């Protein structure tokens, strides 16, 4: 562990969080789902999609919050109500927020971009990123330090586009794999894109590096991150174990050590989604899951160990009814957002230093 008192009780190396959740989005009759958060260095930006009652139309919401969960200003709607608006992502570019989401353009689902200033003002909205003539499915975005890398499943494989800070797209868009279900990682010099049971190394401009690498058995990748020296990957194997695993992957795309079992799905909500977030300065990672009991399980993962360093959970009357728990590390605490029947909540896991 890091030798620090994580839960402020005087004992070092525990990860049981201190959490005072704050409701950042939610009104009676409004369904809010799939939150994502990003840390700017001084506050969090959060996005989600919402719909009113049984309506088939939804929109994307945005809010800024301090580390204490207090909103800097009221939440705002940053996209029009439309059928098919969902799955939003948010990145901090150093000067503004880049928010992407799936929305319908003409008759197909496309990836759209809205840029928001550090003060929460919309700079540009509904910029089309993917090819509007081809249906776009699940997508992910990564800020490299100079550009936004956007990856999406177009049913025929995985496509990629580069977006500059001013929102312009470097054409042509590139298909980087004929395999679907991408999960990208930025290592500081290139992308590693997990698709099915393979990983593809990709230059910043979309040029493949070598050939795809097989990662036997590593199916259904749920999240992946870069620690500064290696990648951490969480994946689900439905058969024969029906379990979630954590694996370490080198820069060359090779497994490091043995796979670690995080949790068997028998005792978990089948829809729970693990989220990895790098933390600390020795390659530590945190993984957050949503168990059946209505509390969030929290794992502290340290490379080289065969089991999580610690395991804990936090619960609140507001928890329950959702399975998305995105996290963002501030350098001293972990911000977490989650969905519940009441709305989108936000809180932090304190680090007493």
Q: What is the SS3 string spanning the chain?
A: CCCCCCCCCCCCCCCCCCCCCEEEECCCCEEEEEEEEEECCCCEEEEEEEEECCCCEEEEEEEEECCCCCECCCCEECCCCEECCEEEEEEECCCEEEEEEEEEECCEEEEEEEEEECCCCEEEEEEECCCCCCCCCCEEEEECCCCEEEEEECCCCEEEEEECCCCCEEEEEEEEECCCCEEEEECCCCEEEEECCEEEEECCCCCEEEEEEECCCCCCEEEEEECCCCEEEEEEECCCCCEEEEEEECCCCCEEEEEEEEEEHHHECCCCCCEEEEECCCCEEEEEECECCCCEEEEEECCCCCCCCEEEEECCCCCCCCCCCCEEECCCCEEEEEEECCEEEEEEECCCC
Residues 6+ away with beta carbon under 8 Å from 168? none
Residues 6+ away with beta carbon under 8 Å from 221? 181, 183, 194, 233, 234, 235
The confidence score (pLDDT) of residue 288 equals 66
Query: Would you mind telling me the total number of residues written for the chain in this entry?
Result: 353
CA–CA distances in Å: residue 109 to residues 114, 135, 220: 16, 5, 23
Q: pTM for the complete prediction?
A: 0.87
Tokens 């990564």 -> residue: 142
Q: Is residue 33 a contact partner of residue 322, using CB atoms and an 8 Å limit?
A: yes
Over the stretch 251-291, which tens digit does the pLDDT of each residue have?
999 999 988 887 765 555 545 567 788 876 657 777 765 54
Half-sphere exposure of 233 (CA within 13 A, CB side): 36
- How do the pLDDT tens digits run along the chain, 353 residues long? 444 444 444 444 444 444 556 777 766 567 788 899 999 999 999 999 888 777 788 999 999 988 777 888 888 999 988 888 989 999 999 999 999 999 988 888 999 999 999 999 999 999 999 998 899 999 999 999 999 999 999 989 999 999 999 999 988 899 999 999 999 999 999 999 999 899 999 999 999 999 999 998 888 898 999 988 899 998 888 777 778 888 999 999 999 998 888 776 555 554 556 778 887 665 777 776 554 455 566 667 776 666 666 556 655 445 544 456 788 888 888 888 877 777 788 877 765 34
Residue 264, both tokens: 């068997």
Assign residue 122 a region (left: φ > 0; alpha: ψ between -120 and 50; beta: otherwise).
Answer: beta
The confidence score (pLDDT) of residue 292 equals 45
Over the stretch 116-148, which tens digit does the pLDDT of each residue have?
999 999 999 999 999 988 999 999 999 999 999
């Amino acid at each position: 562990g890091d030798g620090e008192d994580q839960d402020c009780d005087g004992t070092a190396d525990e990860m049981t969080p201190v959490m005072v959740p704050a409701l950042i989005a939610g009104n009676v009759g409004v369904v809010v789902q799939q939150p994502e958060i990003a840390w700017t260095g001084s506050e969090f930006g959060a996005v989600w999609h919402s719909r009113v009652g049984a309506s088939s139309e939804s929109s994307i919401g945005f809010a800024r919050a301090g580390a204490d969960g207090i909103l800097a200003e009221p939440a705002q709607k940053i996209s029009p109500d439309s059928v098919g608006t969902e799955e939003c992502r948010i990145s901090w570019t150093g000067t503004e927020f880049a928010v992407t989401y799936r929305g319908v353009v003409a008759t197909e689902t496309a990836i759209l971009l809205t840029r928001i200033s550090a003060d929460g003002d919309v700079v540009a909205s509904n910029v089309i990123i993917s090819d509007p003539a081809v249906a776009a499915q699940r997508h992910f975005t990564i800020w490299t330090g100079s550009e936004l890398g956007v990856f999406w499943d177009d049913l025929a494989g995985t496509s990629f586009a580069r977006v500059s800070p001013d929102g312009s797209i470097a054409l042509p868009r590139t298909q980087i794999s004929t395999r679907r279900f991408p999960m990208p990682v930025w290592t500081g010099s290139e992308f590693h894109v997990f698709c099915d049971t393979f990983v593809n190394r990709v230059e910043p401009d979309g040029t493949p590096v070598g050939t795809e690498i097989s990662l036997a058995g590593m199916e259904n990748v749920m999240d992946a991150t870069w620690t500064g020296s290696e990648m951490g990957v969480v994946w689900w194997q439905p058969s024969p174990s029906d379990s979630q695993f954590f694996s370490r992957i080198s820069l060359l795309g090779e497994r490091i050590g043995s796979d670690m079992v995080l949790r068997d799905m028998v005792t978990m909500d089948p829809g729970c989604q693990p989220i990895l977030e790098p933390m600390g300065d020795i390659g530590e990672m945190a993984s957050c899951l949503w168990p059946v009991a209505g509390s969030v399980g929290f794992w502290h993962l340290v490379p080289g160990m065969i089991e999580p360093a610690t395991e804990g959970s936090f619960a609140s009357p507001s928890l329950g009814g959702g399975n998305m728990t995105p996290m963002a590390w501030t350098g001293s605490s972990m911000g977490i957002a989650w969905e519940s029947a009441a709305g989108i909540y936000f809180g932090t896991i304190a680090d007493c230093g």
